[in-house]
Amino acid sequence: MTVDAALLTALTVLPFLGSALSSSLHTRARTAAAALAGFVSVAGLSLVIALYPRVAGGEVFKHEIAWLPSLGLNLSLRLDGLSWLFALLITGIGALVVLYARYYMSAEDPVPRFFGLLQAFMGAMLLLVASGNLIQLVFAWELTSLFSFLLIGYWYHNANSRDGARMALLVTSLGGFCLLLGVIVLGGIAGSFDVDAVLAAAPVIRAHDRFVPALVLILVGTFSKSAQFPFHFWLPHAMAAPTPVSAYLHSATMVKAGVFLMILLWPVFSLSEVWYFGVSTVGLVTFLLGAFVAIFQNDLKGILAYSTISHLGLITLLLGLATPAALVAAVFHVLNHATFKAGLFMAAGIIDHETGTRDVRKLSGLFRAIPITGTLAIIATAAMAGVPLVNGFLSKEMFLTETLAVHSGTFLDRLLPALATLGSAFGVVYSVRFIHQVFFGPPATELPKEPHEPVAWMRLPIELLVLIVLAVGILPARVVGPLLGSAVRSVLGDATPAYSLALWHGFTPALQLSLLALAAGGTAYAVFRRYLADSPDEGPPWAGRLRARRVFDLALTGLVRGAAAGLRWLGTTRLQPQMLLLTLVALGAGLLPFALLAARGAGWLLPIGPVRTDPLEPAYLVVWVLGGAFALLTAYLAKFHRFAALITLAGTGLAMVLTFVWLSAPDLALTQLVVEVTTTVLLLLGLRWLPRPVPAIERTRQEQVRATARRLRDGVVAAVAGAGVALLAYAGMTLDPANRLRFDSLRSYFVENAYEGTGGRNVVNVLLVDFRAFDTLGEITVLGVVGLTVFALLRRFRPPRELLGGTRQQQRQAEFDRAAGGREVGDTATDFLYVARTAMHLMFPVLALFAVYLFMRGHDEPGGGFAAGVTMAIAFILQYMARGARWVEERLRVLPVRWIGSGLLLAVLTGAGAWLFGEPLLTSYYEYADIPFLGRLPVASAMLFDLGVFVLVVGATVLMLVALAHQSVRAPRTSAREDAEPVREEVEAE
Amino acid sequence: MVDLTSRGIGGPITSQLVDLTPHLPVLPIVLPLAVAGFMLLLEERRRIFKAGLGAATMAALVLASFVLLNAVAGEADGVIVYRLGDWPAPFGIVLVVDRLAALMLMVTSLLGLASFLFAVSGWAIVSPRFHSLFLLLVMGINGAFLTGDLFNLYVFFEVLLAGSYGLLLHGSGRARVKAGLQYIAVNLGSSMLFLIGCGLIYAVTGTLNMVDIMRVAADLSTHDATLFRAGLAVLSVAFLTKAGVWPLSFWLPVAYPVATPPVSAMFVIMTKVGAYVLLRTVALASGVPETGVVEFLSPWLLYGGIATVVFGSMGLLASSHLPRIASYATLVTAGTLVAAVGTSDQRVISGALYYMIGSTLATGAAFLLAELITRLRPAEAPQAADAAVEPVFGDDYETSLQTDFEGYEVGIAIPAGTAMLGGAFVVAALVLAGLPPLSGFLGKFAIVSGVLSGGPELSWAAWVLAGVVLFSGLATLIALMRKGIDAFWRPGEETVAEVRSLEALPIGILLALCVALTLFAAPVVTYLDATGAYLANPVEYAKNVLEFGP
Amino acid sequence: MMELVTAVGIGVVAAAGVWLVLRPRTFQVILGMSLLTYAVNAFLLTMGGLRVGAPPVLESVVAPDPAEYVDPLPEGLVLTSIVISFSMTALYLVVLLTSRGLTGTDHVDGEESP
């Protein structure tokens, strides 16, 4: 890396370092912070100056640091005459602003944050102008928006700052996103994001059919940044920022970023119609509008803000004219405007600082109090108005010359000189008003403070700037000739026109126009000054309430309200519509391929195999008829006859069990059976806590109609969904036998390896504990998790108030007991179904044994860990039914949560045991052994795994039942003591 | 094929020490499962120990996924296949680690570690058995990323859903139970669809191994192909629901904001599971073009994704409650990812993956931050849901005429805690809104440039996608800026937020990762580009999965 | 014929389930879920054709002929899904009870629809 490369890198890195350092300073270390910032900016300035030789001749100096080659993103620094000029402005004015701010900001302000942000902005801005890569430029572009946001909002405790900041960020980053899109399109056309590559590809780009979109998108970005109509409105509101920020960001540098980009890409874009009309029109409108509105501002900074808008419009207009000479004028004016406008902002700041107000209506006759500042302000204002002998005059005259030169011969073009003069005249008006109303006239009466000259250091920056203003104004060629030359040459290259930087070109038409504008402006002010002096509120007359910021607010509020409406319209927070949508979408998806097939004219039902005519056992038919009937009954009864619905549901369940038996799936039948029992019991336990179903009372007529319509709709949907499922099911069952071959590969593998591989005869069980044991591991995890969740939920369970004190039945029993003599309350409940309950009680050992049996034979016969586990759990349920929750919980020695844990561990450790043999997880090992009473049985590691399943299932199922059943114990107590007492810990863990 | 499955060290049990390296692929599932099981044996009150154990487990998972990531990143298309029970595919279940899976594991374990740390700093104690539930959720997510078997995928979906039910309801309370009722119902529905689709696909192809399915699907009669697609379509509906794609996404903004902060943060990865599975499906299918699956699915994914981004952006604009904003941001990310899958353009996909990493971490951080930020304004209790949309800019500014020197000219020195929160908020916001200088910008740039570099003729969908991706950024910006200004800038009775270090740490970790993601973008992007390229034609993947026996 | 009967039966059960799932009361929904579970399990089992009287329990352990047995895989899957749906039903039951306790209503949205 050459020395210059190092310098250039340092230039972009230094400010960020400074920013980081400064944010680490103590909040009161104002001098240190200012010194640091000052050092950084002065160092930056000297680096810029040191780099001048590399660009003096109009050549380009580049330095690349690889970062993301695959995305075409490298940290690429590029310096040419143009960016050098901007870098000079950024660092130079930066240094002056820092000095100014040191004395401007109040002593109590936590300025390290301020200076930190200021330096960070400086870095971002330098990175922007020194970008050799368009994406990197956008990157820096957004950064400047960000720091501008934070700087405007620096005094965030006042509403204007917050809103100004918010608005600036929104507008500029909206533009930023457009810019990004445009640049991506542009890069796509050019095949690279490298600036020079893009410039080189100019002809290709102009020919491309995505040229216009790219151009428009990029222009939106630049206009929003450079406050061009219709995006201009954010700038005046950005004036809520501390004045140094306004001077630096919002007049000298950041708002010039858009202009910079337009100049940079000028060679690519300027030859197109869209550019000529779009840019020059927008520029012209902004130029006139800004100047006109500025006249009526009562806030000093307001006047300067709109004047800035107007001058940016002027520059844009020049660029839009698309002639080399106009470009020269534009670049020149960028330089001049930056100097005099920054000076003016600082002056305004001093006035504010000294008098405590910025309201021109309050201010008057300040010249006596602050003559020096006054003089400086007057000179700077002269430049703003374009008075001879100051720099503003020269570029303004170039501008008028350009407007006079005939270009396209369109209507706009002919009107241009007149409009330009008019705009300049407006400029004269507000400039004169600025000076006259503030500095002359009678001494101001109601000022918050007594004005004095500020400390010399605070005035120094303005003095320097005004010095430049004059120097350039008097000896332009000598002072800025070379800088301007290199800048322009770097853009135009050989197309650089011959231009003369001189004070006197003779009594040219342009000069005449200038004088005309001065005269007209002066007279206009003389005529209207009364009116202006006490104009009620800022904003021109007959513009009325129409303000861009109102439009902006309305737009944004509209956007948000619209979004909310859209959310309500396109979304829902209720369950039923979602279930309906899910059903419909699934239905559509499932039938889509059929539809596509039909669309190809192959007919809807091609995928449906022929109806087989194999004999149908009547019994099977009966099973399904009953199953279906029960299902429909359930649907019918579910609302008002819950208990009956449960029974019918169980009926369907039994039909399933029988089907499983029929379809040679004994394991399924067994499992389904035990699960059926458990589920039913759970639901029964739950029933008790549901509110009594109330028939929906449709109040009005059309509510009834709507309800009926809803049911009808759901009915149809359900019917169609059912038909769809049936269709798919049938299609799935009747695939042509050709496919069977494929199945056999898997089936044969399982059947053949079942015994050799795992020592099991029951292939399904082998599948579960060996071939696909991993599924089972997941499955029991689900069960365990659910168990834990249920437990956690029910600990906090609050029974509904109306159910406290037991069910109606319990109450009636209690009544009876109290009434009849010699009976304890609860005796009836105890005696209820005594025999049956004793029987259930005795079932426990039997069921337990059966469970063990199921478990042991699982590997060879239908059965297995899960079925066994649930059976075991059923044994416990029966005890609950027989003896009631209290009795069981007192004797229960199962610690469900631990059982769950042990089950999981046992299963997973068995699986991991294979690791000891260097085998993958769940690799099984088996041996046949003679076990007394049970005979020759396989002792397989898979069996240990199955044991884990068993343990977990017992734990989880019992846990659910305990937790649910326990509520009946709690409810009555709860009625006594309000706070729900948690399930006794010993049920959960001793 | 990366050789982790080499079973060189078999033999006598006497070899005391077990070499875990070959079993690394299954560790992300087995480890949390075993630890969770063990924790259940401990009593409820041994929280400190459990917290430590859990944190150690999550850290171990980070390590494991890092090793796996390096292993597969080693070669162009590195794939590790792990045969469970030593049964070869398609007969047994296999786990497959490739670049994509490894990446998802990495993100999951990092997000998981952070969320877990945040949880044990307080939230873990509001209901019993939090630690186990959390680990089991992680196990489920990892399983879904790893498995190469369709039905096993269903099982792991159920595991992670069961875990999410438990965690969503963690702490109980009216809002959570109401949300849970809905969340569970919708997901039960989608699980049924999963089974139906799974069944149809098995009926046609006679296998469950995903690679094998595609292999078989390559030559099907029109008859079977139709049925196969029907199954695939139904299956995709289940996936789209999990991914939160409009119009199947309404459960998400209901459920996520009401969960406890660490849980919401962890949930951010769950929508990605759905998107991941869709990406996996399309990738496997694109390896076997004869199936025509890609052409069949892609348009729906593209449109669905775009619709989701739009819907999410609307939600962002209409929300002012940070958890809600984060929920919609989750939707936007998911939508972007799904749409990217729909383009089946490898540049777009790799860009979307890069964007996904950053936004996942940042969204997680936002969920965690939300709770801390409310401490700034204890007076204004956080309302569970948004009130009706408040006017964007409430206050009146008739007078832009205001001087710097009328009493309020002095800025406020920010207390450290608040500054830390503010900084964290800004970082998260930048990532989510896709603004410089953080990863979000790069991600969106990569996506948009990928979309727009589609040659001379661009489909309108491409323009729309590019547009909505950027628009969603603007919407995020508006929402977060409004929230940020309201939380940090609006004057009010501020209290200095007390942030415990154990709360700050996880947020710090997540955001530091976001920053690192930007600084070291080059290696990440290189990795992702390779991933995209390899997903476009995963031959190796298929070969390794199906090759029989060693 | 068997296929037809089975398919129609499954369709009917599914339809009843769907209808219930679309209802506003939690109890209706949970019954609907159970019905759907039945339908889906039966659906899953029948995938790949029906087979009567060929349970996958090996009679002879030496060189068994696969053709004699039904395809065991769907059965394995259904077993798993039975267990999972059982736990989900239990969970949903408890959640709806808790919701009813906390919100006072048994509406699926935890509040009566407007």
Chain position carrying tokens 């600990």: A795
The closest CB to that of C61, out of A653, A761, A789, belongs to A761
Q: Is pLDDT at A975 greater than 70 in this prediction?
A: no
pLDDT at position A987, please? 35
CA distances from A331 to A52, A110, A173, A327, A587 (A): 17, 37, 25, 6, 65
Q: Which two tokens stand for residue B252?
A: 């998400």
Query: In terms of C-beta density within 10 A (0-12 exposed, 13-18 middle, 19 or more buried), how is residue A212 classed?
Result: middle
Q: Is pLDDT at B100 greater than 70 in this prediction?
A: yes
pLDDT at position A541, please? 57
A141 pLDDT band (50/70/90 cuts)? Answer: very high
Count CA atoms within 13 Å of residue A152 on its CB side: 29
**B376 CA to centre of own chain:** 29
- CB of B151 within 8 Å of a chain C CB? The answer is yes
Higher pLDDT, A22 or B144: B144
**A294 CA to centre of own chain:** 38
Count CA atoms within 13 Å of residue B14 on its CB side: 1
Q: Where are the domains of chain B?
A: 24-377+410-547
What is the average per-residue pLDDT within A577-596?
91
Whether residue A755 and residue C58 make contact (CB cut-off 8 A), yes or no, is: yes
Q: Is pLDDT at A56 greater than 90 in this prediction?
A: no
Rounded Cα–Cα distance for residues B184 and B299 (Å): 29
Which region among A129-143, B35-49, B100-114, B265-279 has the lowest average model confidence (pLDDT)? Answer: B35-49
A540 pLDDT band (50/70/90 cuts)? Answer: low
pLDDT at position C12, please? 95
Rounded Cα–Cα distance for residues A816 and A882 (Å): 22
Rounded Cα–Cα distance for residues A615 and B349 (Å): 54
Whether residue B185 and residue C109 make contact (CB cut-off 8 A), yes or no, is: no
CA distances from A956 to A303, A672, A901, A904, A951 (A): 77, 17, 10, 11, 9
Give one DSSP letter per residue of A927-976, joined into a string.
EEEEETTTEEEEEEHHHHHHHHHHHHHHHHHHHHHHHHHHHHHHHHHHHH
Q: Which residues contact A507 (CB under 8 A, 6 or more apart)?
A: none
What is the average per-residue pLDDT within B443-460?
80
Q: Is pLDDT at A838 greater than 80 in this prediction?
A: no
Which region among A26-35, A675-684, A807-816, B9-18 has the lowest average model confidence (pLDDT)? Answer: B9-18
Q: Which two tokens stand for residue A639?
A: 């609302």
Closest CA to C22 of C14, C13, C32, C12: C32
Q: Is pLDDT at B406 greater than 50 in this prediction?
A: no
- Alpha helix (H) ranges present in B381-459? 416-433, 439-452
pLDDT at position A741, please? 58
Q: Which other chains touch chain A, taking contact as 3+ CB pairs less than 8 Å apart?
A: B, C
Give one DSSP letter per residue of A336-348, joined into a string.
HHHHHHHHHHHHH
* Nearest C-alpha in C relative to A798: C101
- CB of C103 within 8 Å of a chain A CB? The answer is no
Q: Which two tokens stand for residue A246?
A: 């306004």
Contacts of C87 in chain A (CB under 8 A): 782-783, 786-787, 956
pLDDT at position A497, please? 83
CB atoms within 10 A of CB A985: 13
Whether residue A785 and residue B317 make contact (CB cut-off 8 A), yes or no, is: no
The closest CB to that of B400, out of A302, A560, A775, belongs to A302
CA distances from B166 to A534, A964, B176, B213, B244 (A): 70, 17, 11, 33, 20
Q: Is pLDDT at B535 greater than 90 in this prediction?
A: no
pLDDT at position B389, please? 32
A282 pLDDT band (50/70/90 cuts)? Answer: very high
H-helix or E-strand containing A888?
A: helix A865-891
What is the average per-residue pLDDT within B130-154?
93
What are the phi and psi torsion angles at A435 (to 5°)? -70, -50
What is the average per-residue pLDDT within A572-592?
91
Structure letter (DSSP) for residue B98: -
B394 pLDDT band (50/70/90 cuts)? Answer: very low
CB C28 within 8 A of CB C84: no
The closest CB to that of A109, out of B196, B389, B410, belongs to B410
Q: Which two tokens stand for residue A512?
A: 């005449």
Q: Which two tokens stand for residue A516?
A: 């005309």
Question: Residue B78 region, left (φ>0) first, then alpha (ψ -120 to 50), else beta?
Answer: beta
Rounded Cα–Cα distance for residues A432 and A428 (Å): 6
* Nearest C-alpha in C relative to A732: C47
Structure letter (DSSP) for residue A802: G
pLDDT at position B112, please? 94
**B438 CA to centre of own chain:** 19
A972 pLDDT band (50/70/90 cuts)? Answer: very low
Which region among A409-413, A434-438, A586-590, B455-459 has the lowest average model confidence (pLDDT)? Answer: B455-459
Closest CA to B384 of B374, B376, B372, B393: B374
Whether residue A915 and residue B23 make contact (CB cut-off 8 A), yes or no, is: yes
Q: Is pLDDT at A241 greater than 70 in this prediction?
A: yes
CB B400 within 8 A of CB A298: no
The closest CB to that of C38, out of A653, A783, A964, belongs to A653
Q: Is pLDDT at A893 greater than 80 in this prediction?
A: no
pLDDT at position B521, please? 87
Closest CA to B353 of B479, B518, B528: B528
Quote the minimal CA–CA distance from A289 to chain C in Å: 53
CA distances from B54 to B29, B117, B131, B163 (A): 14, 9, 7, 16
What is the average per-residue pLDDT within B502-530?
89
Quote the minimal CA–CA distance from B180 to chain C in Å: 7
Q: How far apart are the first and last CA of chain C?
A: 48
Q: Biggest alpha carbon distance in chain A? A: 131
pLDDT at position B496, please? 63
- pLDDT tens track of chain C, all 114 residues? 788 889 999 999 999 999 999 998 889 999 999 999 999 999 999 887 787 877 777 777 677 777 778 888 888 999 999 999 999 999 999 898 888 888 878 888 877 776
Q: Is pLDDT at B419 greater than 60 in this prediction?
A: yes
pLDDT at position A983, please? 39
Whether residue B400 and residue A240 make contact (CB cut-off 8 A), yes or no, is: yes
Convert the pLDDT of each residue in A772-827 to its tens digit.
Answer: 889 999 999 999 999 988 888 877 666 666 555 556 666 666 676 667 666 666 66
Convert the pLDDT of each residue in A343-374 to its tens digit.
Answer: 999 999 998 888 888 888 888 888 888 889 89
What is the average per-residue pLDDT within A732-758?
73
Partner residues linked to B516 by β-bridges: none
- CB of B536 within 8 Å of a chain A CB? The answer is no
pLDDT at position A546, please? 54
pLDDT at position A507, please? 82
pLDDT at position A189, please? 87
CB B444 within 8 A of CB B355: yes
Quote the minimal CA–CA distance from C2 to chain B in Å: 17
CA distances from B238 to A440, A619, B194 (A): 79, 36, 6
Exposed e or buried b for every residue in B444-464, given b needs 16+ CB within 10 A? bbbbbbbbbbbeeebeebbbb
B457 pLDDT band (50/70/90 cuts)? Answer: low
Higher pLDDT, A3 or B366: B366
Degrees to nearest 5, angle at CA A86 with A80 and A91:
120
Q: Which residues contact A139 (CB under 8 A, 6 or more apart)?
A: A127, A131, B436, B437, B441
Quote the minimal CA–CA distance from C60 to chain B in Å: 22
Question: Residue A454 region, left (φ>0) first, then alpha (ψ -120 to 50), else beta?
Answer: beta
Q: Which other chains touch chain C, taking contact as 3+ CB pairs less than 8 Å apart?
A: A, B
CB atoms within 10 A of CB B77: 21
What is the average per-residue pLDDT within B382-390?
36
What is the average per-residue pLDDT within A879-904?
77
Whether residue C21 and residue B189 make contact (CB cut-off 8 A), yes or no, is: yes
Closest CA to A98 of A129, A124, A119, A123: A119
What is the average per-residue pLDDT within B109-117?
94
Q: Which residues contact B502 (CB under 8 A, 6 or more apart)?
A: B117, B118, B120, B121
* Nearest C-alpha in B relative to C103: B174
Average pLDDT score over chain B: 83
Determine which of A210, A234, A921 to mutate to test the interface with B (most B C-beta atoms within 10 Å). Answer: A921
Partner residues linked to B147 by β-bridges: B95
What proportions of chain B, in percent to the nearest 5, are helix, strand and coil? 70, 0, 25
pLDDT at position A69, please? 72
B16 pLDDT band (50/70/90 cuts)? Answer: very low
What are the phi and psi torsion angles at A108 (to 5°)? -80, -10
Q: Which two tokens stand for residue B109?
A: 């374990």
Instruction: Report the percentage of chain A scoring pLDDT > 70.
Output: 87
- Structure ipTM: 0.90
Closest CA to C39 of C14, C7, C72: C14
CB A120 within 8 A of CB B436: no
Closest CA to A393 of A472, A493, A305, A290: A472
Q: Is pLDDT at A255 greater than 70 in this prediction?
A: yes
B18 pLDDT band (50/70/90 cuts)? Answer: low
H-helix or E-strand containing B94?
A: strand B94-97
Convert the pLDDT of each residue in A381-419 to its tens digit.
Answer: 999 988 888 888 888 888 888 888 866 677 777 888 889
Which region among A16-25, A715-724, B381-390 has the lowest average model confidence (pLDDT)? Answer: B381-390
pLDDT at position A806, please? 59
Quote the minimal CA–CA distance from B170 to chain C in Å: 12
Average pLDDT score over chain A: 83
Partner residues linked to A938 by β-bridges: A928
A242 cis-preceded (ω within 30 degrees of 0): no
Quote the minimal CA–CA distance from B86 to chain A in Å: 6
**A7 CA to centre of own chain:** 38
The closest CB to that of B40, out of A68, A169, A900, belongs to A900
Rounded Cα–Cα distance for residues A944 and B75 (Å): 40
3-class secondary structure for A700-759? CHHHHHHHHHHHHHHHHHHHHHHHHHHHHHHHHHCCCHHHHHHHHHHHHHHHHHHHHHHC
Whether residue A686 and residue C97 make contact (CB cut-off 8 A), yes or no, is: yes
Residues, chain B: 550
Whether residue B227 and residue A735 make contact (CB cut-off 8 A), yes or no, is: yes
pLDDT at position A613, please? 67
Long-range pairs of A204-208 with CB within 8 A, sequence gap ≥ 24:
A205/A268, A206/A268, A206/A271, A206/A272
Contacts of C5 in chain A (CB under 8 A): 616, 620-621, 624
Convert the pLDDT of each residue in A98-123 to its tens digit.
Answer: 999 998 888 778 888 889 999 999 99
Q: Is pLDDT at B287 greater than 70 in this prediction?
A: yes
